[in-house]
Amino acid sequence: MGEIEAGPLLKGIDTPDDLRKLDKMQLQQVCNELRQFIIDCVSVHGGHFGASLGVVELTVALHYVFNTPDDQLIWDVGHQAYGHKILTGRRKVFHTNRKYGGLSGFPKRGESIYDAFGVGHSSTSISAALGMAIASEYKGEHDRRHIAVIGDGAMTAGLPFEALNHAGVSRANLLIILNDNNMSIDPNVGALKEYLTDITTSHTYNKFRDEVWNILGMLPTKDFQRMASKIEAGLKGVVSKSSNLFEALGFRYFGPIDGHNVLKLTETLRGLQHIPGPKILHIKTVKGKGYELAEQDQTLWHAPGTFDKITGQINKKTSTIPEPPKYQDVFGHTLLELAESNKSIMGITPAMPSGCSMKIMMDKMPDRALDVGIAEQHAVTLSAGLATQGMTVFCNIYSSFMQRAYDMVIHDVAIQKLPVILCLDRAGLVGDDGPTHHGAYDLAFMRCIPNMVVSAPMNESELRNLMYSAQLPENKSPFVIRYPRGTGVMPQWRTPFEKIETGTGRKICDGTDVAILTIGHPGNFAVAACRMLAESDLYPAHFDMRFVKPLDEAMLHEIAGRYSKIVTVEDGTVVGGFGSAVIEFMVLHDYHPHVVMLGIPDRIVEHGKPEELHRECGYDAKSIAEAVRALMEVKQFATGHVVA
């Protein structure tokens, strides 16, 4: 399955310069072909789907009107940018999108000069574009334009409002396009959503808006600028309260307009080119536009995997053998089960109720499970506030997204020693989403915080038991439970709850010569490695430590007293992570074992299937077996293994 065939016009577009040679009346056909190309490619190769379909017309209009890449265009969030990639020289290799060694699923500065800023997470575009605009002004590049396309829920975070507050008092040549589709991955929530709906449904304002644009469109450029400043701003101030938020912050507000009318978009963007200073264009789009099933169920079709583009049947593995569940589903069902017996439990998630499976509890207990939008900082401090009032809070945030709330974890949770239970989904190498989404750092950045308990389950039963143990009344500390994306190892996972004492590990198997110490899901890789080694009559011991903080010191004393060779395995950075914690213990207690640390190396790991990345980073089952064999045979270790 290789390159996808493009339509006749799209086939001739290798750069935006080729697009600009077309007559504007051909743009709708380009949009049709681009939308079909995305459908054809994602149906076969997988990837994000609905978001890019929703901005096809906007993508074409932006590259048709603006002089990209000299004019700088930032997509926020980055999974809107498939059409952008296809129009900017990557159409012929787009079938490699999100594959090992292929294109990134998000804009990436190192991939193309058209990708002005890397945007794998959300809500960064306005700050970045403002920085670019200020730099251009300083360098005298007064004709250079800077466009931030923010949507898919990204405006609900705090960073855009910080940027708006600054940009509104600047003279920056900045255009913000608010792509209002009322969705992130799940439906948007909060007052801003209601506010934008009010703008969109204000018939009085829309009538005046259309009249204003008709008048302004007939004026010469210099008069357009002058009249836009006087007439339209005055009308909006009189007619509608809806524009006050943006205008009060110092922005010229235009819209809302139909984001699927490519000619109207083109006309509007040409007009905005000549208006100086910070401005916002509000467009209304439909996520999944042009593929009926994606329009009807926008959450399911955010990233559906491969599917039959004709029938809409999503391809799923079928098996008569019971399959292990996804860790996130075990979390979701277990949370509901615990909440049914503990009335103090509440759940908090920042815009990922479906992804983290908290929606299971939200459907049954809507007053006890809350989606706060893309607002990780707020999610943590909200959880802290709830905890002060005796609530038992499970705050579920993806590991890489928790990086955004680190200050709140320290300032609002740890310093006050509030027993918030932080469940970090997508820990470790997540696969196709790549370096912006890898949960590489949480073990290291959580274990250095005082008052924290930091744990990782090896399987589904351990996840249930850690969740059960964390919510017991005797737990008085912040409690981190981190687990990977995807399936576990236990088809029969609904095991009875058992309390796990904080800071206790368990011995998986006894052995000789070498001890393998694991944390979390990679313990299963070590089990497979031990089976491989047994075929050669090599029998290392294996210990599932379960806690990075506090470490099971009694178990470590036992290990250090018996084994002179140790291999640590983790799906986190080896810099300051689990292996580092073990070595620190050994040094503090004057033990001198030979330690090999396996885990994520001190570099950015690109995207690919998890098994490909585990092998690349050297901590899959085969790599563990190789490391143990090398230790037993006293050979040189493979490059990248850290030796102490």
Q: Say how far apart CA 613 and CA 98 lie, in whole Å.
A: 13
How do 421-427 and 392-398 pair as beta strands?
parallel
Q: Which of 403, 371, 378, 404 is nearest to 193 (CA)?
A: 371
Q: Which of 362, 350, 478, 483 is nearest to 421 (CA)?
A: 478
Contact 516, 538 (CB under 8 A): no
Question: Active-site residue 404, yes or no?
Answer: yes
Quote the DSSP letter at residue 497. Answer: P
Q: Kindly state the tokens that stand for 356.
A: 């983290």
Annotated active-site residue in 289, 404, 464, 482: 404
Name the strand (E) or helix (H) holding 583: helix 578-588
Q: Kindly state the tokens that stand for 403.
A: 């990086």
Contact 332, 354 (CB under 8 A): no
Q: Kindly state the tokens that stand for 17.
A: 């310069």
Quote the DSSP letter at residue 428. Answer: B
Name the strand (E) or helix (H) holding 270: helix 262-272
Q: Which of 209, 161, 205, 156 is nearest to 181 (CA)?
A: 156
Q: Say how far apart CA 70 and CA 48 lie, in whole Å.
A: 27
Question: Active-site residue 376, yes or no?
Answer: yes
Contacts (Cβ under 8 Å, ≥6 apart) of 303 = 46, 47, 48, 49, 79
Annotated active-site residue in 287, 326, 447, 482: 287
Name the strand (E) or helix (H) holding 340: helix 327-341
Catalytic positions, written as ranges: 287, 376, 404
